[in-house]
Copies of this chain bind each other. A is one copy, B any other.
Amino acid sequence: MKSIGTGKGSNKGQKRDLAVIVSEVPATAAGMFTTNQICAAPVKVCVNHIANGKAQAVVINSGNANACTGPRGLKDAKEMAGLMAQELLLQPEDVLVGSTGRIGLQLPMPNIRKGIGQIVKELDDSPTAAHHAAEAIMTSDTQPKEIAIEFKLGRQTVRLGGIAKGAGMIQPGMSPNGIRPASMPLHATMLSYLTTDAKIPAATLKRCLREAVASSFNCITVDGDMSTNDTVLILANGLSGNGKLSDKDLKTFQSALNHVCLELAKMIVRDGEGISRMVTVRVKGAKTQKDADAAARSVGNSALVKTSWNGGDPNWGRIIDALGYSPAKVIEEKVDIGYSTPSRKKLVYSLKKGRPTRTSFKTLCKAVEPTEFDLHINLNLGKGKAILYAADLTEKYVDYNKGDISDPASLGG
């Protein structure tokens, strides 16, 4: 796979803002897309182009989301794909597109056209090129997000890599066709592009991606806002030369993909706009799976819980309050609330069966002091489990997102 990121794609200052990823040969492809009913033009184009399970290139601009841009926006997104196809001697359907940035502005097509003409000359399969692509898709991100791993399928060494962006408007809820299943809870722009040289049939790739996204990108929240542009794409070009996948190989691939998606998803939360702490909310003992997810999201999106995390305050009252108004079944006398940190596996409980424990305030403060800790909630009502990677709410987040109307360029997505 080759990639590169460069400038001139969009209109947001001097940084790199156009990225391309190109496979040397046709690849199988799968995607997961925002279930927001207001869905950006590039998402519509992707859903359409990926329907055949194939793709060979992706082109992404940052600074402009091409969302809520009407028929012209859709035409522009198609033109992006078409121009890239022309440059690479492909069909437009072989090219996927992505955009991220401010909603409601038309794409600066002169820049995009010029940018696409130039960028294909810079394509490269070096880590530096991939790094530049990761930089080019950033918006409010403070750092690029990238990962690459190697593993074996049979005797063959296979590579899997990815880049991602996202810092605000983050609570994705993605599905393969952008349609929200009735069972899906309500949930930024986040984009992630994955490539592998494994050989995998399109239908299998789709199933694997859906599973990986369900326990990674669809389980993060920064501010509870789901974007119009959320997209995860994977291209598998088969150049590793692995043979037909055994059940064991499939498991290996799935766990590799889960790992890559989860690491990228956590990078997004850690780089959330203005955040100071990432909290892994672990709910168990819920009556159902759906209840577990609803309980975790109610806690992870509560303004009062999030501000207490910012203050380093082990306030269980706000947590149990958020559990109580969630759609999940909760019985006060059954709720356990505790903390652990990656370095200290032992749980420290603030609440057991709805009653405060004798653990001192000082000890509890220590438990919620690290920049990353786990919040353990046991509803003690059933077997439903869920994990949500959440963030605190800070003055910096508010300051960043209120922007400055005297400088419209400061106004975010």
Q: How far is the CA of A323 from the CA of B263 in the complex (A)?
A: 30
**Would B321 and A103 count as touching, CB distance under 8 A?**
yes
Q: How far is the CA of A308 from the CA of B225 in the complex (A)?
A: 13
**Would B413 and A311 count as touching, CB distance under 8 A?**
no
**Would A38 and B320 count as touching, CB distance under 8 A?**
yes
Chain B residues with CB below 8 A from A308, complex form: 401-403, 411
A246 contacts partner chain B, Cβ-Cβ < 8 Å: no
A88 contacts partner chain B, Cβ-Cβ < 8 Å: no
**Would A67 and B307 count as touching, CB distance under 8 A?**
no
| Cross-chain contact of A223 among B35, B304, B330, B394 (Cβ < 8 A) | B304
| Cross-chain contact of A398 among B70, B102, B393 (Cβ < 8 A) | B393
A327 contacts partner chain B, Cβ-Cβ < 8 Å: yes
A404 contacts partner chain B, Cβ-Cβ < 8 Å: yes
**Would A331 and B398 count as touching, CB distance under 8 A?**
no
Chain B residues with CB below 8 A from A397, complex form: 303, 307, 398
Q: How far is the CA of A385 from the CA of B279 in the complex (A)?
A: 38
**Would A365 and B331 count as touching, CB distance under 8 A?**
no
**Would B321 and A228 count as touching, CB distance under 8 A?**
yes
Chain B residues with CB below 8 A from A403, complex form: 308, 311, 313
A122 contacts partner chain B, Cβ-Cβ < 8 Å: no
A325 contacts partner chain B, Cβ-Cβ < 8 Å: yes
| Cross-chain contact of A70 among B321, B355, B404 (Cβ < 8 A) | B355
**Would B402 and A321 count as touching, CB distance under 8 A?**
no
Chain B residues with CB below 8 A from A324, complex form: 36-39, 226, 228
| Cross-chain contact of A304 among B102, B316, B401 (Cβ < 8 A) | B401
**Would A303 and B393 count as touching, CB distance under 8 A?**
yes
A354-B70 contact, Cβ under 8 Å, with A37-B325, A103-B320: yes
**Would B398 and A68 count as touching, CB distance under 8 A?**
no
| Cross-chain contact of A317 among B103, B310, B402 (Cβ < 8 A) | B103
Shortest beta-carbon distance, A147 to chain B, in Å?
28
Shortest beta-carbon distance, A324 to chain B, in Å?
3
- Chain A interface, >50% SS class: loop
Q: How far is the CA of A285 from the CA of B39 in the complex (A)?
A: 21
Chain B residues with CB below 8 A from A331, complex form: 37
A321-B186 contact, Cβ under 8 Å, with A311-B404, A401-B304, A402-B311: no
Shortest beta-carbon distance, A368 to chain B, in Å?
9
Chain B residues with CB below 8 A from A354, complex form: 68, 70
Q: How far is the CA of A326 from the CA of B226 in the complex (A)?
A: 9
Q: How far is the CA of A275 from the CA of B90 in the complex (A)?
A: 54
A56 contacts partner chain B, Cβ-Cβ < 8 Å: no
**Would B313 and A402 count as touching, CB distance under 8 A?**
yes
A302 contacts partner chain B, Cβ-Cβ < 8 Å: yes
Chain B residues with CB below 8 A from A228, complex form: 321, 324
**Would B68 and A317 count as touching, CB distance under 8 A?**
yes
Chain B residues with CB below 8 A from A329, complex form: 37
Q: How far is the CA of A36 from the CA of B324 in the complex (A)?
A: 5
Scan residues 19-56 of chain A and give those whose CB is less than 8 A from a CB of chain B: 35-39
Scan residues 312-362 of chain A and give those whose CB is less than 8 A from a CB of chain B: 312-313, 315-318, 320-327, 329-333, 354-356, 361
Interchain Cβ contacts under 8 Å between A and B, 30 examples: A36-B321, A37-B331, A38-B330, A67-B321, A70-B333, A70-B355, A103-B317, A169-B318, A173-B325, A186-B327, A187-B325, A223-B303, A223-B304, A225-B303, A225-B304, A225-B325, A226-B321, A303-B397, A304-B401, A307-B401, A307-B402, A310-B398, A311-B401, A311-B402, A313-B411, A315-B411, A317-B413, A394-B398, A395-B395, A395-B399
5 shortest A-B CB distances, which residue pairs? A103-B317, A311-B402, A38-B324, A307-B401, A226-B325
6 further contact pairs, Cβ within 8 A, besides A225-B322, A227-B321: A37-B329, A67-B321, A225-B321, A313-B405, A395-B399, A397-B398
